[in-house]
Structure formats: structure tokens, C-alpha cells
Amino acid sequence: MKRLLAASILILGLAACGGPSSEDVLTADKIKASESAPELPDIQLSENPEPPPAPPPVENLAENELDNEIDGNAVEAGVPGNVPPAFQGLWGVAASDCRPGEVSGNAILLTADQLISAASAGSLQAVLADTPGRFDGRFRYEDSDQRESFVLGGGGNRLTRNGGTVYQRCIGASG
């Protein structure tokens, strides 16, 4: 009985597959249509299809790096430009930092070409990155150049400086 049931299921399964559909049948019209198709252009092959070989690995990396000391305080060259308007304004860590007319406490004032805090002022020397929501610049302070990174958040009312300090836009206060 089990064999009969298995054979019946197999036959019904094969019958369900059916024959070829009318789309699958090759007719004279289909052959003629395929012969009138446009010809493909000739393809030019490269004379050297293989990429050049990779350079051999350096045996001793320490020897290669001896004369290439990295200055951890160096800042990239960048390009001329300004601080985007979305980043400009008076920014404070606390509400008490937002006093009209002065930069005090932990506040910073970003203008088109300066970063001013209560302790120092830096002038923008170069733009290192400028994308929507992020600005990186090289600022010249009294004794050094420093990279400053700013990321906007909170609908443009929150500013994170150098991945650490978070400021809020001071509304109604101008520097």
C-alpha cells in the first residue's frame, strides 16, 4: 500500500509540472526575429590583461620606518575656506555660558574664521573636512596649530567638539 501511495504521489507531481508553455516553443517567427537583432560591437582586448605584480613584502618593517618618524602634533595642510554658517555662533556647555556680548565660562564663539573661548582665540588656517553636519579645521593659536573637529546634532542646536565636549547653541546671544 505504501508503494502504491508513493508511486501515485510521484506521478501526480510529474503531471503537475506539465509540458512546455507556448512561450517556450521555438517558432519560425521567433527565429526570424532573433536573426534581425542588431550585432554586438567587437570588443577590444587589452594586450596585458593581468595587473602588475604586487611589490615584494618588506623584510624588516622597523628598518623601513627608522627615517619616517611621525610627528604626533603635526596637522594636515588642508585647503583655504571658512567655517560654514551652520556652525557659527555662540555655544555653551551650561546656560550660564550664554551671556550676550562676551565669551565666558566654557562657551566658545565660532565665526567664519575664528574659534574664541574665554582662555584663547584661534584663527582658521585651513579646512580639513567640510561635510553636512561635520567640520574639521586647522586653527592657529598663540603657540601652535591644532585640529578642531565639530559635529552638529540635535537639529543644529548641539555641537560636539573633538569628540568630547558637547555644547548647546546660545539662542539670542551674539558674540
Q: Which helix (H) or strand (E) holds 126?
A: strand 121-131
pLDDT exceeds 80 at position 82:
yes
What does pTM read for this prediction?
0.54
The CATH code of the domain at 85-169 is 2.40.128
pLDDT exceeds 80 at position 131:
yes
pLDDT exceeds 70 at position 94:
yes
Range in 14-18, 40-44, 48-52, 61-65 with the lowest mean pLDDT: 61-65
Query: What's the CA gap between 148 and 114, in Å, rounded?
Result: 11
CB 114 within 8 A of CB 123: yes
Domain residue ranges of the chain, discontinuous segments joined by +: 85-169
